[in-house]
């Protein structure tokens, strides 16, 4: 018996099976690389990302039969992974923020003549994205930070492609509104 098993039983969750079910293995193989990319962007470290994502998959495996009964297992798995990543960020006294490192890792900043100006602009875009509702933020992050297609984003979040397009449209409208207001303010300040 490992040291982990008693705490798992006390928490009400059974220990993970020795051999994962085939459908779990397929799910793990399909989603883990994407989850790692997302977690690494948030945590800023590949090893921390792997730890957080592996913890999420261990949680999912222990409850796999229940997960499969959920209305949307993919969405449940995504939420579990995000919760583990946020927990790992908190344990390292770090704010879980997808946008923190992403602003520095854009093509525009790398290729800009005025990299400081471009960085400031990019950081303001990422700050605005971080203020979006969670689902819109997830859609924008997956579509534009990770170059997921609409279909891949839908699959990862466990929503329909129409849902992805709707969240994306609302997020863009909100972002446009924020930058139009900001642009008007800057124009008035220059007068």
Kindly report the CATH number assigned to the domain that includes residue 147: 1.10.10.10
Does the structure show a pLDDT above 90 at 66?
A: yes
> Which tokens belong to 37?
């990319």
- Pick 68 or 89 by higher pLDDT: 68
165 in any annotated domain: yes
CA angle 57/62/66 to nearest 5° reads 100
pLDDT, tens digit, for every residue of 103-132? Answer: 444 444 344 455 555 556 666 777 788 889
Of 91, 119, 144, which marks where a domain is finished? 91
145 in any annotated domain: yes
Confidence of residue 13 (pLDDT cuts 50, 70, 90): low
Query: What pLDDT is stored for residue 129 in this prediction?
Result: 84
Confidence of residue 84 (pLDDT cuts 50, 70, 90): very high
Q: What is the mean pLDDT of residues 153-161?
A: 90
Q: What is the pTM of this model?
A: 0.68
Q: Which domain holds residue 169?
A: 132-190
Of 41, 69, 91, which marks where a domain is finished? 91
- Pick 41 or 187 by higher pLDDT: 41
2 in any annotated domain: no
Shared domain for 86 and 142, answered yes or no, is no
Does the structure show a pLDDT above 80 at 57?
A: yes
Total domains in the chain come to: 2
């Amino acid at each position: 018996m490992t040291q982990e098993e008693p705490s798992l039983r006390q928490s009400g969750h059974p220990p993970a099976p020795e051999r994962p079910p085939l459908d779990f293995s397929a799910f793990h193989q399909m989603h883990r690389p994407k989850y790692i990319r997302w977690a690494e962007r948030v945590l800023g470290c590949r090893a921390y990302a792997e730890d957080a994502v592996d913890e999420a998959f261990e949680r999912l495996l222990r409850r796999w039969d229940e997960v499969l009964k959920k209305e949307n297992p993919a969405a449940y798995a995504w939420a579990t992974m995000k919760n583990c990543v946020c927990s790992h960020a908190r344990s390292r006294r770090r704010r879980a923020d997808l946008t923190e490192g992403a602003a520095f890792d854009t093509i525009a900043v790398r290729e800009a003549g005025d990299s400081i100006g471009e960085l400031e602009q990019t950081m303001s875009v990422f700050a605005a994205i971080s203020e979006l509702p969670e689902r819109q933020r997830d859609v924008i992050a997956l579509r534009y930070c990770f170059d997921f297609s609409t279909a891949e984003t839908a699959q990862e979040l466990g929503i329909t492609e129409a849902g992805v397009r709707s969240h994306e449209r609302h997020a863009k409208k909100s972002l446009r509104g924020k930058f139009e207001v900001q642009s008007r303010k800057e124009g008035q300040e220059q007068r």
